Amino acid sequence: MKQTSARKPTPAAPQPIGVFDSGIGGLTVVAALRKLLPAESIFYIGDTARVPYGGKSQATIERYSQELSGLLLAERAKLIVVACNTASALGVPRLRETLRIPVTGVIEPGAQAAVKATRSGKVGVIGTRATIASRAYERAIEALDAKVKVFTEPCPLLVPLIEEGWLEDPVTDSIIARYLEKLLRSGVDTLVLGCTHYPLLRAAIQRHAGPDVTLVDSAQNTALAVQKLLRQQKLAAPRASVGKLQVALTDQSSAFLRVAEQALGLQVGDTKLRAVQHAVG
Protein backbone atom coordinates (compact mmCIF):
# COMPACT_ATOMS: atom_id res chain seq x y z
CA MET A 1 0.00 0.00 0.00
CA LYS A 2 1.40 3.35 -1.00
CA GLN A 3 2.01 5.68 1.91
CA THR A 4 1.11 9.34 1.45
CA SER A 5 2.61 12.11 3.49
CA ALA A 6 0.27 14.45 5.33
CA ARG A 7 -0.07 17.86 3.68
CA LYS A 8 1.20 20.74 5.70
CA PRO A 9 -1.46 23.32 6.47
CA THR A 10 -1.15 26.52 4.49
CA PRO A 11 -0.06 29.31 6.82
CA ALA A 12 -2.65 31.99 7.31
CA ALA A 13 -1.97 35.27 5.58
CA PRO A 14 -0.76 37.96 7.99
CA GLN A 15 -3.42 40.35 9.18
CA PRO A 16 -3.17 43.68 7.36
CA ILE A 17 -3.37 47.23 8.57
CA GLY A 18 -6.73 48.51 7.35
CA VAL A 19 -6.79 52.03 5.89
CA PHE A 20 -9.73 53.96 4.49
CA ASP A 21 -10.37 57.36 2.96
CA SER A 22 -13.09 59.07 0.96
CA GLY A 23 -11.06 58.60 -2.23
CA ILE A 24 -7.43 58.68 -3.32
CA GLY A 25 -6.10 61.08 -0.69
CA GLY A 26 -5.44 58.41 1.92
CA LEU A 27 -2.83 56.89 -0.38
CA THR A 28 -0.49 59.60 0.89
CA VAL A 29 -0.73 57.86 4.28
CA VAL A 30 -0.32 54.45 2.62
CA ALA A 31 2.88 55.64 0.91
CA ALA A 32 4.29 56.76 4.27
CA LEU A 33 3.28 53.45 5.89
CA ARG A 34 4.90 51.45 3.09
CA LYS A 35 8.14 53.37 3.50
CA LEU A 36 8.29 53.17 7.30
CA LEU A 37 6.78 49.69 7.78
CA PRO A 38 7.74 47.54 4.77
CA ALA A 39 6.95 44.31 6.65
CA GLU A 40 3.30 45.29 7.13
CA SER A 41 0.57 44.34 4.69
CA ILE A 42 -2.02 47.02 4.01
CA PHE A 43 -5.59 46.80 2.78
CA TYR A 44 -6.83 50.17 1.54
CA ILE A 45 -10.40 51.15 0.73
CA GLY A 46 -11.16 54.37 -1.16
CA ASP A 47 -14.82 55.35 -0.98
CA THR A 48 -14.85 56.65 -4.54
CA ALA A 49 -18.61 56.15 -4.80
CA ARG A 50 -19.26 58.87 -2.22
CA VAL A 51 -16.29 61.24 -2.41
CA PRO A 52 -16.03 64.03 -1.24
CA TYR A 53 -16.96 63.79 2.44
CA GLY A 54 -16.37 67.44 3.27
CA GLY A 55 -19.92 68.73 2.86
CA LYS A 56 -21.69 65.89 4.64
CA SER A 57 -23.17 65.79 8.15
CA GLN A 58 -21.60 64.16 11.20
CA ALA A 59 -24.25 61.43 11.23
CA THR A 60 -23.48 60.58 7.60
CA ILE A 61 -19.71 60.57 8.18
CA GLU A 62 -20.16 58.30 11.21
CA ARG A 63 -22.24 55.89 9.13
CA TYR A 64 -19.75 55.86 6.26
CA SER A 65 -16.91 55.25 8.72
CA GLN A 66 -18.75 52.32 10.28
CA GLU A 67 -19.50 50.80 6.88
CA LEU A 68 -15.94 51.06 5.60
CA SER A 69 -14.58 49.72 8.88
CA GLY A 70 -16.89 46.74 8.46
CA LEU A 71 -15.36 46.04 5.04
CA LEU A 72 -11.86 46.22 6.55
CA LEU A 73 -12.83 43.89 9.37
CA ALA A 74 -14.00 41.41 6.73
CA GLU A 75 -10.38 41.52 5.45
CA ARG A 76 -9.17 40.65 8.99
CA ALA A 77 -7.65 44.08 9.64
CA LYS A 78 -5.75 44.17 12.94
CA LEU A 79 -5.81 47.97 13.20
CA ILE A 80 -7.71 50.67 11.35
CA VAL A 81 -6.20 53.92 10.15
CA VAL A 82 -8.75 56.57 9.24
CA ALA A 83 -6.72 58.34 6.54
CA CYS A 84 -9.28 61.09 6.08
CA ASN A 85 -9.32 64.30 8.09
CA THR A 86 -13.09 64.68 7.88
CA ALA A 87 -13.72 61.12 9.09
CA SER A 88 -10.97 61.50 11.70
CA ALA A 89 -12.69 64.59 13.08
CA LEU A 90 -16.26 63.26 12.96
CA GLY A 91 -16.08 59.46 12.80
CA VAL A 92 -13.16 58.24 14.92
CA PRO A 93 -14.77 58.80 18.37
CA ARG A 94 -17.68 56.53 17.45
CA LEU A 95 -15.40 53.92 15.90
CA ARG A 96 -13.33 53.75 19.09
CA GLU A 97 -16.53 53.10 21.03
CA THR A 98 -17.77 50.30 18.78
CA LEU A 99 -14.74 48.46 17.36
CA ARG A 100 -12.69 45.86 19.18
CA ILE A 101 -9.44 46.70 17.39
CA PRO A 102 -7.29 49.84 17.68
CA VAL A 103 -8.31 52.87 15.61
CA THR A 104 -6.17 55.91 14.83
CA GLY A 105 -6.87 59.03 12.81
CA VAL A 106 -4.74 61.78 11.29
CA ILE A 107 -5.72 64.88 13.32
CA GLU A 108 -3.55 64.37 16.39
CA PRO A 109 -0.34 63.50 14.48
CA GLY A 110 -0.84 66.55 12.26
CA ALA A 111 -1.43 68.84 15.23
CA GLN A 112 1.73 67.58 16.95
CA ALA A 113 3.79 68.26 13.82
CA ALA A 114 2.35 71.78 13.48
CA VAL A 115 3.12 72.75 17.08
CA LYS A 116 6.66 71.46 16.65
CA ALA A 117 7.18 73.33 13.37
CA THR A 118 5.83 76.82 14.14
CA ARG A 119 8.27 79.58 15.08
CA SER A 120 5.85 82.49 15.37
CA GLY A 121 3.04 80.63 17.14
CA LYS A 122 0.69 81.24 14.20
CA VAL A 123 -0.57 78.11 12.43
CA GLY A 124 -2.89 77.95 9.45
CA VAL A 125 -5.11 74.97 8.68
CA ILE A 126 -6.79 74.24 5.36
CA GLY A 127 -9.30 71.42 5.00
CA THR A 128 -12.79 70.45 3.95
CA ARG A 129 -15.79 72.38 5.26
CA ALA A 130 -16.64 69.58 7.69
CA THR A 131 -13.10 69.33 9.07
CA ILE A 132 -12.79 73.09 9.58
CA ALA A 133 -16.30 73.35 11.10
CA SER A 134 -15.48 70.58 13.58
CA ARG A 135 -12.63 72.67 15.06
CA ALA A 136 -10.79 69.39 15.60
CA TYR A 137 -7.38 70.85 14.71
CA GLU A 138 -7.93 73.88 16.88
CA ARG A 139 -8.78 71.71 19.89
CA ALA A 140 -5.87 69.34 19.25
CA ILE A 141 -3.36 72.17 18.88
CA GLU A 142 -4.71 74.03 21.90
CA ALA A 143 -4.36 70.86 24.00
CA LEU A 144 -0.68 70.72 23.05
CA ASP A 145 0.11 74.44 23.35
CA ALA A 146 -2.56 76.96 24.31
CA LYS A 147 -0.36 79.86 23.17
CA VAL A 148 -0.46 78.86 19.49
CA LYS A 149 -3.00 80.83 17.44
CA VAL A 150 -4.83 78.83 14.77
CA PHE A 151 -6.26 80.35 11.58
CA THR A 152 -8.45 78.17 9.38
CA GLU A 153 -9.82 78.18 5.83
CA PRO A 154 -12.19 75.66 4.22
CA CYS A 155 -11.14 74.67 0.69
CA PRO A 156 -14.05 72.62 -0.72
CA LEU A 157 -12.96 72.73 -4.37
CA LEU A 158 -9.55 71.10 -3.93
CA VAL A 159 -10.65 67.48 -3.38
CA PRO A 160 -12.70 67.28 -6.61
CA LEU A 161 -9.78 68.78 -8.57
CA ILE A 162 -7.37 66.22 -7.08
CA GLU A 163 -9.76 63.35 -7.75
CA GLU A 164 -9.82 64.52 -11.40
CA GLY A 165 -6.02 64.45 -11.45
CA TRP A 166 -5.71 68.22 -12.04
CA LEU A 167 -2.52 68.49 -9.97
CA GLU A 168 -0.67 70.87 -12.32
CA ASP A 169 -3.30 73.12 -13.85
CA PRO A 170 -3.82 76.90 -14.01
CA VAL A 171 -7.36 76.53 -12.66
CA THR A 172 -6.09 74.65 -9.60
CA ASP A 173 -3.34 77.24 -9.08
CA SER A 174 -5.79 80.14 -9.12
CA ILE A 175 -8.10 78.42 -6.62
CA ILE A 176 -5.20 77.70 -4.26
CA ALA A 177 -4.13 81.34 -4.42
CA ARG A 178 -7.68 82.48 -3.58
CA TYR A 179 -7.95 80.11 -0.60
CA LEU A 180 -4.53 81.00 0.87
CA GLU A 181 -4.85 84.77 0.55
CA LYS A 182 -6.45 85.45 3.95
CA LEU A 183 -4.28 82.95 5.82
CA LEU A 184 -1.08 84.45 4.47
CA ARG A 185 -2.24 87.94 5.47
CA SER A 186 -2.64 86.59 9.02
CA GLY A 187 1.10 85.94 9.15
CA VAL A 188 1.07 82.15 9.60
CA ASP A 189 4.47 80.52 9.31
CA THR A 190 3.13 76.96 9.35
CA LEU A 191 0.32 75.57 7.21
CA VAL A 192 -1.37 72.28 8.02
CA LEU A 193 -2.64 70.41 4.97
CA GLY A 194 -5.73 69.26 6.83
CA CYS A 195 -6.89 66.79 4.21
CA THR A 196 -4.94 63.73 3.10
CA HIS A 197 -5.66 64.68 -0.52
CA TYR A 198 -3.80 67.98 -0.22
CA PRO A 199 -0.20 66.63 -0.17
CA LEU A 200 -0.81 65.72 -3.81
CA LEU A 201 -0.88 69.49 -4.40
CA ARG A 202 2.10 70.15 -2.13
CA ALA A 203 4.29 71.73 -4.81
CA ALA A 204 1.55 74.11 -5.96
CA ILE A 205 0.58 75.05 -2.39
CA GLN A 206 4.22 75.70 -1.47
CA ARG A 207 4.63 77.98 -4.50
CA HIS A 208 1.76 80.16 -3.36
CA ALA A 209 2.58 80.01 0.37
CA GLY A 210 6.23 80.95 -0.23
CA PRO A 211 9.47 79.53 1.15
CA ASP A 212 8.99 80.98 4.66
CA VAL A 213 5.86 78.91 5.33
CA THR A 214 6.39 75.33 6.52
CA LEU A 215 3.85 72.86 5.14
CA VAL A 216 2.74 70.10 7.47
CA ASP A 217 0.88 67.01 6.35
CA SER A 218 -0.01 64.23 8.73
CA ALA A 219 1.03 61.27 6.56
CA GLN A 220 4.52 60.73 7.99
CA ASN A 221 3.41 61.52 11.53
CA THR A 222 0.47 59.14 11.20
CA ALA A 223 2.83 56.39 10.05
CA LEU A 224 4.97 56.98 13.15
CA ALA A 225 1.84 56.85 15.34
CA VAL A 226 0.84 53.54 13.72
CA GLN A 227 4.34 52.13 14.31
CA LYS A 228 4.10 53.04 17.99
CA LEU A 229 0.59 51.58 18.30
CA LEU A 230 1.63 48.29 16.67
CA ARG A 231 4.44 47.94 19.20
CA GLN A 232 2.24 48.83 22.16
CA GLN A 233 -0.47 46.36 21.11
CA LYS A 234 2.07 43.67 20.12
CA LEU A 235 0.58 43.58 16.62
CA ALA A 236 3.69 44.28 14.54
CA ALA A 237 4.47 41.86 11.71
CA PRO A 238 7.79 39.94 11.91
CA ARG A 239 10.63 42.01 10.50
CA ALA A 240 11.42 39.34 7.93
CA SER A 241 7.93 39.63 6.42
CA VAL A 242 7.36 41.30 3.08
CA GLY A 243 4.18 43.33 3.23
CA LYS A 244 1.82 43.65 0.30
CA LEU A 245 -0.61 46.36 -0.69
CA GLN A 246 -4.18 45.61 -1.73
CA VAL A 247 -6.54 48.35 -2.87
CA ALA A 248 -10.32 48.31 -3.11
CA LEU A 249 -12.69 51.02 -4.32
CA THR A 250 -16.42 51.45 -3.86
CA ASP A 251 -16.74 52.62 -7.48
CA GLN A 252 -14.52 52.67 -10.55
CA SER A 253 -12.17 55.66 -10.76
CA SER A 254 -10.32 56.37 -13.99
CA ALA A 255 -7.90 58.80 -12.30
CA PHE A 256 -7.13 56.60 -9.31
CA LEU A 257 -4.30 54.47 -10.64
CA ARG A 258 -2.77 57.32 -12.63
CA VAL A 259 -2.56 59.62 -9.62
CA ALA A 260 -1.32 56.88 -7.30
CA GLU A 261 1.47 55.81 -9.62
CA GLN A 262 2.55 59.20 -10.96
CA ALA A 263 2.27 61.36 -7.85
CA LEU A 264 3.08 58.85 -5.12
CA GLY A 265 5.15 56.19 -6.85
CA LEU A 266 2.84 53.45 -5.56
CA GLN A 267 2.43 50.28 -7.60
CA VAL A 268 -1.22 49.55 -6.89
CA GLY A 269 -1.82 46.76 -9.37
CA ASP A 270 -5.34 45.44 -9.82
CA THR A 271 -7.98 47.15 -7.71
CA LYS A 272 -10.98 45.37 -6.27
CA LEU A 273 -14.53 46.66 -6.03
CA ARG A 274 -16.37 46.50 -2.72
CA ALA A 275 -20.04 47.22 -2.25
CA VAL A 276 -20.69 49.41 0.76
CA GLN A 277 -22.80 47.73 3.36
CA HIS A 278 -23.97 48.39 6.89
CA ALA A 279 -21.41 46.42 8.85
CA VAL A 280 -19.45 46.91 12.04
CA GLY A 281 -17.39 44.67 14.25
121 & 76 share domain: no
Q: What is the pLDDT of residue 281?
A: 44
**Taken in order 193, 198, 204, 208, is the CA torsion positive or negative?**
negative
Reported as a single tens digit per residue, the pLDDT across 211-259 is 999 999 888 889 999 999 999 999 999 999 999 999 999 998 767 777 7
Both 111 and 214 in a single domain?
Answer: yes
Residue 11 lies in a domain: no
> Model's pTM, two decimal places?
0.86
- Mark whether 117 and 60 lie in a shared domain: no
Looking at the structure, do residues 81 and 137 belong to the same domain, yes or no? no
Which structural domain range is residue 29 located in? 17-106+220-273
Do 89 and 125 lie in a common domain?
no
Q: Could you say which of 83, 84, 159, 213 is catalytic?
A: 84
195 included as an active-site residue: yes
How high is the pLDDT of residue 280?
45
As a whole number of angstroms, the distance between CA 88 and CA 86 comes to 5
Count of domains for the chain: 2
- Strand ranges for the chain from DSSP E: 17-21, 42-46, 79-82, 103-104, 122-127, 149-154, 190-194, 214-216, 245-249, 271-273
155 included as an active-site residue:
no
SS3 content of the chain, % helix, strand, coil (to 5): 45, 15, 40
- Among 171, 186, 218, the domain boundary falls at 218
Give residue 12's pLDDT.
52
CATH number at residue 214: 3.40.50.1860
- 148 lies in a domain? yes
Instruction: Tell me: do 113 and 210 sit in the same domain.
Output: yes
Tens digit of pLDDT at every position of the chain (281 positions): 444 444 444 445 689 999 999 988 899 999 999 999 999 999 999 999 998 898 899 999 999 999 999 999 999 999 999 999 999 999 999 999 999 999 999 999 999 999 999 999 999 999 999 999 999 999 999 999 999 999 999 999 999 998 888 999 999 999 999 999 999 999 999 999 999 889 989 999 999 999 999 999 888 889 999 999 999 999 999 999 999 999 999 998 767 777 777 777 777 777 888 988 654 44
Of 226, 267, 210, 275, the closest CA to residue 27 belongs to 267
Residue 142: how many other CB atoms lie within 10 Å: 16
Specify whether 232 is located in the same domain as 176: no
pLDDT at 277: 63
**Is residue 278 one of the residues assigned to a domain?**
no
Which of 88, 206, 209 is CA-nearest to residue 140?
A: 88
Q: Are residues 53 and 130 in the same domain?
A: no
Q: Is residue 76 part of a domain?
A: yes
Residues 54 and 83 in one domain: yes
Whether residue 59 sits in one domain with residue 155: no
Which of these three, 171, 188, 218, is where a domain ends?
218
**From the CB of residue 8, how many other CB atoms can be counted at a distance below 10 Å?**
6
User: Given the DSSP bridges, would you call strands 17-21 and 79-82 parallel, antiparallel or unpaired?
Assistant: parallel
Do 112 and 102 share a structural domain?
no
User: Residues 21, 83: contact at Cβ < 8 Å?
Assistant: yes
Residue 3 belongs to a domain: no
- The answer to whether position 10 is within a domain reads no
Please indicate, yes or no, if residue 186 is contained in any of the structural domains: yes
The catalytic residue among 195, 219, 223, 226 is 195
Residues 250 and 266 in one domain: yes
| Single-letter code of the amino acid located at 275 | A
Domain boundary among 202, 218, 234: 218
